[in-house]
Amino acid sequence: MLVMSDDDAPVVASPSQAPGQNQAPSADAYAVSYDPTMTTVEYEIVTDGMSVTHPSWVDVIDGVPTMMEKLGTPPPFRHVIQLPKDEPFDLRDLSVTGMGAATSTTTTCTLRVDGKVIARQSADGTYGVVSCALPEE
């Protein structure tokens, strides 16, 4: 079980707003605040194409890892999960996967825990598939 200590700050909170579907997100759309009592997991998929096709990610709903997915979303795809530091949770259960579009030349996923990049993967070409998860110990 992977447990983050309080020394692993910064801790990041959820986005301050969700961008509209028909507008490009502003830099402030993903501004985060910090809470030292929470472990924060950030998923991100970025592509230079017109959409992130079939993003899927593991969310935590009522303490249970739950697979979520969308058909597509304008890039970038971002999702933030906060978990209380005092409640044990195996972060290796969390992951994000996505695919670039027909117009993509590069697609990249990033997984951050408390602001630190834990996993990053890139794929070149149309419909490039990326998947990010915590590495096995």
- Asked, for residue 22, whether it belongs to a domain, the answer is yes
- Pair of tokens at residue 94: 């969390």
Q: What is the pTM of this model?
A: 0.77
- Asked, for residue 87, whether it belongs to a domain, the answer is yes
* Whole-angstrom distance, CA of residue 77 vs CA of residue 87: 27
- At 80-100, the pLDDT tens digits run 999 999 988 999 999 999 999
Per-residue pLDDT, 30: 59
- Asked, for residue 74, whether it belongs to a domain, the answer is yes
- Asked, for residue 12, whether it belongs to a domain, the answer is yes
Domain hosting residue 53, numbered range:
6-133
* Whole-angstrom distance, CA of residue 18 vs CA of residue 98: 19
- Asked, for residue 1, whether it belongs to a domain, the answer is no
- Asked, for residue 14, whether it belongs to a domain, the answer is yes
* Whole-angstrom distance, CA of residue 112 vs CA of residue 12: 10
- Asked, for residue 117, whether it belongs to a domain, the answer is yes
Q: Tell me the CA distances in angstroms from 52 to 85, 87, 95, 125, 129, one per residue in order.
A: 31, 33, 16, 13, 10
Per-residue pLDDT, 16: 31
Per-residue pLDDT, 35: 83
Q: Number of folded domains in the chain?
A: 1
